[in-house]
Amino acid sequence: MHPKVKKSWEILKICVFFLTLFTLLFATSIINFYLTPRFSGLCDFYDYGILFFINATSSDVTKEECESQRRATILFIVFCLVRLISNKFENFIGTKFLRTCSVRSTFPGRHFGAALGFPYLTRSLSKSIRVGSAPVFLVIIFASTSIAFYPYAKDFSKLSRLIYNAVQRRHYLYNRSMILTFISIYFYFSTVLIELLDVSFGIYCPQTIFGFQILFPNFNFPMFLYILHTIILHHHRAMPAIIYEVNGEDCFIQLNRMRCITNKDCPQMSTAFPLDALPSKTTTIQRRAFDGRIIQIRQYRELDDILPCKVSTQVRKVSTFTSRPPSYAVPPLPRDLPSTILDLE
């Protein structure tokens, strides 16, 4: 494939990815925005028959309650359908960015989140029976919402503990990585807290971005939390290389390790490959110049239990220390001194 065509194809895939991501995050809000004019016609039957028994003011209130119930029911159904689709997309994100990383199997962070809609639906439907403000009812709604939010609170606790331990052992070598991690965990906590209070009590006024509502169930916040979860776990630290000298095969195998936030070598981002140098033809000075400490093993099959990843078949050149020359290196002669006998004459 031509380089320009390949680059254009990569840009197209990135654009499609972010467009799909935005659509799944705000799908319920977009549907709510375009269906709002139609919600007023769902309860037109309240205009007939009821006026013979109650006055016009009561009829308006009843119609508003009907519209609120219909809106909550439709948005709940749409939210569940969006979660079904976005759950597959979250699996794609995890496969794309974490793959076989050990942290993905031990700490996946994926939750369907449909149970969060039941407290919201119950609170919305309870307005017609005038129990929405009863203290006992509010306690029950808050308890059920807390149970539904428990997996996210548990994940937040784990993420906070991982970040704290990572900072203690200096896992983040650059300030921008640490800042991005702290911003992600802050948004994670803020989203969980705001959605918990909104689903339980509805204390927040409608919040909109470009006319689209962002509170539950309009915003696909379980997917947003999973993205933050992936950003935090995606950061890896480069560790010093290790070179294994296989005596039985007369070869060097270099392991470039990448360590996860869980302080384990990542099988996805770590690489192992043979070197073009042979132990039988390598001097002590050359060994000291290798970019990594050398560990001797007897057989090649021992690497299966040692290496976190498979050994590549591509042979690479030996990498040496480039930051400073080794202490055993012979310094060059000064330019102003003669280097040969002819220069002395």
Which residue ranges make up each domain of the chain? Answer: 3-235, 238-306
Q: Which residue has the higher pLDDT, 38 or 92?
A: 92
Residues 257-297 have pLDDT tens digits of 888 888 888 888 888 888 888 888 888 888 888 877 888 88
Q: Does the model's pTM come out above 0.85?
A: no
Residues 172-227 have pLDDT tens digits of 887 888 899 999 999 999 999 988 888 888 787 777 777 778 888 888 889 999 99
Which range has the top average pLDDT, 26-40, 59-73, 165-179? 165-179
Amino acid residing at 115: A
Range 20-37 average pLDDT: 83
- Distance separating alpha carbons of residues 250 and 72, to the nearest angstrom: 70
CB neighbours (10 Å) of residue 280?
A: 8
Q: How much is the pLDDT for 155? A: 92
In this prediction, residue 154 has a pLDDT band, given cuts at 50, 70 and 90, of very high
Residues 121-149 have pLDDT tens digits of 887 777 656 555 677 878 888 888 888 88
